[in-house]
């Protein structure tokens, strides 16, 4: 098969290319250039050094390699979404946006244009009978970031690392003699090399974002310099002291207030989510597994009806953050995912 491999310049996609080439497939390496991150601060995802690493790996494997400039699409689908979501007082998930719009739509189309049957990436997830499944290495599983892939696109997608652990991947990387074998993971938002999203949003949005830190009764406890620095469940950086530890309960963009509360006030019996991608919609009676963040324990729950269904949890979940993704599973199979609009208040339960 002719397979286009999305090569970020990291170890995972490098090994993906190596394994497929070893299996005798005609591999074409493609690196997408999403942004102009300062090359001096590269070492995060998809900077110039990563493009050069990806090229070195492709050379080592003896496969053709191309760089595709997707800066315009990335700016529109990922960067602007991040700005808009933070300004709206919510917590964006740029990686899901990047996967859903860029990798498994734009890049997949580019792979088809090159006459490939499939696009392969180095994600940790499995595809079986056209459905998306958890990776065998549960610690590395990335299905939370992959739910926007449409079923049709899934049929043209390969995740060769889905059956491997990270350490097995590094063993392969060394075996192939790849320069990326010992490369560190990239975890931060790739286009913000200084990790300071608030400064970036301030520059892009320009409006004053400073305001008060208040408790649930509206009493001022302190001040902050930008409300979009705060996300639900955050404790650090509040600059307030109280008898019990306080966490961000929610953010009010209109008043620029950051509302804090004690830990138990952040428990929620459910959420409302919209903009769903369904691979298979569960009936409201089915008890499903729900992930409201990449890390941490999933919760059990039921998905209601409608375009923006209510998901009710079997037990309250902590710190449901509007703007984040929610992904619904049946066992190890992804049924679908959407975007959290709001958490249900505790008294409704």
Partner 1 sequence: MVYLDHNATSPPRPEVLEQALPYVHQHWGNPSSTHSAAREPARALDTARARVAAYVGARPRDVVFTASATEANHLALHGRRALVSAVEHVSVFGAAGTWPRIPVRPSGRVSAADLAELLDPSIDIVSVQAANNETGVLQDLAGLAEVVHAAGRLLHVDAVQVVGRLAPSELEVADLVTLSAHKAGGLKGAGALVVRRGGVQPLLSGGSQERGRRAGTVDVAPCVALGVVVGLPLPRFPELGGLARTVVALGGRVTAGGLPNTLHACFDVPGDAIVMGLDLLGVCVSQGSACSSGASEPSHVLAAMGLDPRSGLRVSTGWNTTTADLDALADALHQVVPRTREALG
Stretch that binds partner 1, among 46-54, 118-126, 270-278, 296-304 (CB under 8 A): 46-54
Residue 190 is a catalytic residue: yes
How big is the chain by its Cα radius of gyration, in Å? 21
Residue 39 in contact with partner 1, rule: CB under 8 A: yes
Q: In Å, how far are 93, 118, 179, 205 from 82, measured between CA atoms? A: 7, 29, 32, 11
Q: What does the alpha-carbon distance between residue 312 and residue 74 come to, in Å, rounded to a whole number?
A: 34
* Shortest spacing between CB 112 and partner 1, in angstroms: 4
Among 64, 284, 296, 345, binds partner 1 (CB under 8 A): 64
Task: Kindly tell me which of 59 and 182 has the beta carbon lying closer to partner 1.
Answer: 59
Task: Kindly tell me which of 63 and 173 has the beta carbon lying closer to partner 1.
Answer: 63
Q: How many residues would you count in the chain?
A: 349
Q: What does the alpha-carbon distance between residue 33 and residue 102 come to, in Å, rounded to a whole number?
A: 11
* Token pair belonging to 29: 């390496």
Residue 44 in contact with partner 1, rule: CB under 8 A: no
In sequence order, the 6+-apart residues with CB closer than 8 A to the CB of 13 are 5, 6, 7, 54, 121, 122
Residue 127 in contact with partner 1, rule: CB under 8 A: no
Residue 62 in contact with partner 1, rule: CB under 8 A: no
Q: What does the alpha-carbon distance between residue 258 and residue 227 come to, in Å, rounded to a whole number?
A: 6
Task: Kindly tell me which of 58 and 299 has the beta carbon lying closer to partner 1.
Answer: 58
Residue 98 is a catalytic residue: yes
Catalytic, out of 45, 46, 95, 98: 98
Task: Kindly tell me which of 109 and 346 has the beta carbon lying closer to partner 1.
Answer: 109
Question: How many alpha carbons lie under 13 Å from residue 309 in its C-beta half-sphere?
Answer: 22
Q: How far is CA 155 from the centre of its chain?
A: 21
* Shortest spacing between CB 115 and partner 1, in angstroms: 6
Q: What does the alpha-carbon distance between residue 67 and residue 302 come to, in Å, rounded to a whole number?
A: 43
Residue 52 in contact with partner 1, rule: CB under 8 A: yes
Q: Rule CB under 8 A: which residues touch partner 1?
A: 28, 31, 33, 39, 48, 51-52, 55, 64-69, 109-110, 112-115
Catalytic residues: 98, 190
């Amino acid at each position: 098969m002719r397979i286009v491999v999305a090569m970020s310049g990291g170890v995972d996609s490098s090994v993906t290319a190596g394994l497929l080439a070893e299996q005798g497939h005609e591999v074409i390496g493609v690196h997408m250039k999403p942004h102009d991150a300062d090359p001096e601060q590269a070492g995060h995802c998809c900077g110039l050094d990563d493009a050069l690493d990806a090229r070195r790996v492709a050379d080592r494997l003896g496969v053709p390699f191309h760089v595709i400039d997707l800066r315009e699409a990335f700016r529109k689908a990922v960067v602007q979404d991040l700005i808009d979501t933070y300004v709206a007082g919510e917590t964006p998930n740029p990686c899901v946006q990047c996967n859903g719009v860029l990798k498994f739509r734009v890049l997949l189309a580019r792979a088809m244009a090159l006459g490939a049957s499939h696009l392969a990436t180095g994600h940790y997830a499995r595809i079986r009978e056209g459905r998306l499944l958890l990776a065998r290495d549960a610690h590395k599983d990335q299905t939370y970031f992959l739910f926007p892939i449409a079923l049709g696109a899934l049929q043209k997608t390969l995740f060769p690392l889905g059956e491997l652990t990270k350490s097995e991947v590094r063993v392969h990387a060394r075996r192939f003699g790849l320069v990326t074998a010992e490369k560190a993971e990239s975890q931060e938002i790739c286009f913000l090399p200084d990790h300071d999203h608030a400064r970036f949003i301030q520059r892009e949005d320009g409006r004053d974002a400073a305001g008060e830190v208040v408790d649930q009764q509206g009493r001022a406890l302190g001040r902050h310099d930008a409300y979009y620095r705060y996300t639900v469940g955050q404790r650090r950086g509040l600059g307030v002291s109280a008898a019990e530890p306080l966490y961000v309960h929610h953010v009010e963009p209109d008043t620029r207030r950051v509302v804090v509360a004690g830990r138990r006030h952040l428990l929620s019996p459910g959420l409302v989510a919209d903009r769903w991608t369904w691979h298979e919609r569960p009936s409201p009676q089915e008890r499903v597994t729900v992930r409201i963040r990449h890390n941490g324990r999933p919760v059990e729950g039921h998905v209601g009806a409608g375009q923006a269904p209510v998901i009710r949890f079997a037990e309250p979940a902590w710190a449901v953050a509007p703007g984040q993704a929610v992904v619904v599973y049946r066992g190890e199979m992804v049924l679908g995912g959407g975007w959290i609009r709001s958490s249900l208040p505790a008294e409704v339960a």
